[in-house]
Amino acid sequence: MIRILRQIFRTGIVTEPLPPAEEEIRVIGGKLEEAIKRRFRGSLTIREVDAGSCNGCELEIHAINNPIYNCERFGIHFTASPRFADMLLVTGPVSRNMEIALRRTYNATPPPKLVVAVGDCGCNGGIFGESYASLGGIDKVIPVDVYIPGCPTTPAALLKGILKAVDGNL
């Protein structure tokens, strides 16, 4: 136990070491927090759906939950059930085999049903394109509010995209 405590104190608070390039995140984060307070009473709940991704985009969605980006401090929380979700964060080209599951998840989500398409694949199918197995971008199956390109998209771009969906004017 002592070791654990020591490691915790030694690590200190790593969130935001803020070298100049990271200043961006603090700015986005501030705006995000403010927008989430205004529109969602301080708590935005997200359901992540992998609709066929290569799992690269998932790595970066994990990263915004790590102690450095720590998206919870802005009021963002990932949930297990679409029924509690304000937003769907959807990755991948929609594979044919995931189409039905994605539709069901969308139907189970209460309003406002914000949908954010993540990664080049989520935007337009990316390298997998459209084929017998891949239907292309997320908007081929459900309506999309915001697109975040990148392969995979970076944590900063993710936060920005979420802000855009919440705030509408960026």
Q: For residue 31, give Cα distances in angstroms to 15, 71, 115, 156.
A: 17, 12, 19, 13
Closer of 98 and 165 to other proteins (Cβ): 98
- Residue ranges that bind ligand SF4, judged by CB under 6 A: 53-54, 56-57, 91-92, 119-121, 126-127, 151-152
Q: Considering beta carbons, is residue 36 or 46 the nearer one to other proteins?
A: 46
- Collect all residues with Cβ–Cβ distance below 8 Å to 79 and sequence separation of at least 6: 45, 46, 47, 85
Minimum distance from residue 105 beta carbon to other proteins (Å): 6
The CB-of-52 to ligand SF4 minimum distance in angstroms stands at 8
Q: How far, in Å, CA of 166 to CA of 120, rounded?
A: 21
User: What is the binding site for other proteins (CB under 8 A)?
Assistant: 3-4, 7-8, 11, 14, 48-63, 65-68, 78, 80-82, 92-93, 95-98, 101, 105, 126-135, 151-152, 154
